[in-house]
Structure 1
Amino acid sequence: MQHPTGSRDTKGDIHRAAVQLFSTQGYEKTSLREIAEQVGITKASLYYHYSSKQDLLRAIIGTFLDDISVVLSSVETIPWSPEAEQEALRAYVDVVVAHRSTGPTLLRDITAVLAAFGDDLDALIARSRRFQLWLAGPDPTAADRLRAAAAVETVGAAISTDVDLEATPAEVRAILLEAATAVLSHRGQPPPT
């Protein structure tokens, strides 16, 4: 792929090839040689950009983890309100939609991801729990906390599926935001019997 300046975006090409191969073959079964061949560069050229396959995995998934961490942390300093909730949900959905191609890699080779990120994932899980608690609203009941977790998981469906939805990112974004909002709209109500 060419940059607007006319130069080649080799790092971007490497990322795209790695995501595609990791998603279809798995991290362990994909070699750096295969990635280099798909990009049309030598393995030595690939090593110029990434010192190892784990370094490449960290670069690909690290961007998602960094972006989602910013959103999860953003609610820690603002009080809950319906408007703030919608803004936080929109930001969360935007990150998930932007990184949809990374999803199958995250889920297919969770062992490799855990090895690459370890403690960073523990911190991310803790931030995610605080985000869910914030989404549950003021003085949440157990049902409200469960609804907030379900809303976050609803959005996560976009990253956990490799089904080609034949929808534009804007359509996926709108559907996920609608679904998460619908789950949260029952806040304060008793669970159905």
Structure 2
Amino acid sequence: MQHATSSRDTKAEIHRAAVHLFSTQGYDKTSLREIAEQVGITKASLYYHYSSKQDLLRAIVGTFLDDIFEVLRQVEDHPWSPEKERELLAAYVDVIIEHRSTGPTLLRDIAAVLAAFGDDLDNLIAQARRFQVWLAGPDPTPADRLRAAAAVETVGAAMSAELDLGISDAEIRAILLDAASAVLARRGTPVEG
């Protein structure tokens, strides 16, 4: 049983090192040797856990995709209500905060991510659109749909590579929920031009 625990720890260390290196250097410029060296293992040991760099990227981004899909799919089972909106928006914020270190990799190396996840990303985009339509509320106007998209983008700000605020996850969560909710609160109000 001890072997399984140390194996999981090594895998988590590999994951953290890869996220850091992919985010700072880029996917293409990071070698498996560099990741292994940062973790303090041999390249052969790294291959025990991940068969290739793309396999490692799939593991990193795949965890984010699994978690975000779980939240986004919930709109299919729940009619819109203010309470459910707040609950799902909070769950969405929580996933973004948990995976915010993955953000720079997603943004910086989109070609590698597309190569590894083409169909999954198409599904994510479709599901994200359904989530935005749901967030727009019942009988949304075009302005309401734009506000819902803006609310989702507001939450995505937590994944910015340059965002090192030095505040706790709880504070980030509160700020993002407040900002996204403020955008959504304007639903149904006329647009003044």
The answer for the alignment partner of 1:164 in structure 2 is 164
**Counterparts of 1:1-193 in structure 2 under 5 Å?**
7=6, 9-193=9-193
Cα deviation, 1:123-142, whole Å, max 9, x if unaligned, reads 00000000000000000000
Counterpart CA distance in 2 for 1:27 and 1:6 is 28
* Count of residue pairs the alignment pairs up: 190
CA distance change for structure 1 residues 37 and 161 in 2, over 3 Å: closer, same or farther? closer
Counterpart CA distance in 1 for 2:172 and 2:162 is 13
Structure 1 residue 189 displacement after superposition:
0.6
Structure 1 residue 113 displacement after superposition:
0.3
Counterpart CA distance in 2 for 1:128 and 1:6 is 36
What letter corresponds to residue 73 of structure 1 in structure 2?
R
Counterpart CA distance in 1 for 2:147 and 2:72 is 17
Counterpart CA distance in 1 for 2:182 and 2:161 is 21
What letter corresponds to residue 176 of structure 2 in structure 1?
L
The percentage of counterpart residues that share the same residue type is 76
Cα deviation, 1:144-173, whole Å, max 9, x if unaligned, reads 000000000000011133321111111101
Counterpart CA distance in 2 for 1:35 and 1:95 is 25
What letter corresponds to residue 63 of structure 2 in structure 1?
T
Could you state the TM-score of these two structures normalised by the residue count of structure 1? 0.96
Cα deviation, 1:83-113, whole Å, max 9, x if unaligned, reads 0000010000000000011110110100000
C-alpha RMSD of the superposition: 1.4
Q: Could you tell me which runs of 5 or more consecutive residues in structure 2 were left unpaired when the two chains were aligned.
A: none
Counterpart CA distance in 2 for 1:140 and 1:6 is 50
Cα deviation, 1:8-64, whole Å, max 9, x if unaligned, reads 610000000000000010000000000000000000000000000000000001000
Structure 1 residue 191 displacement after superposition:
1.4
Could you state the TM-score of these two structures normalised by the residue count of structure 2? 0.96
Counterpart CA distance in 1 for 2:134 and 2:188 is 14
Higher-helix-fraction structure: 2
SS in 2 for 1:94: helix
SS in 1 for 2:187: coil
Counterpart CA distance in 1 for 2:35 and 2:57 is 12
Q: Could you tell me which runs of 5 or more consecutive residues in structure 1 were left unpaired when the two chains were aligned.
A: none
SS in 2 for 1:138: coil
What letter corresponds to residue 56 of structure 2 in structure 1?
L
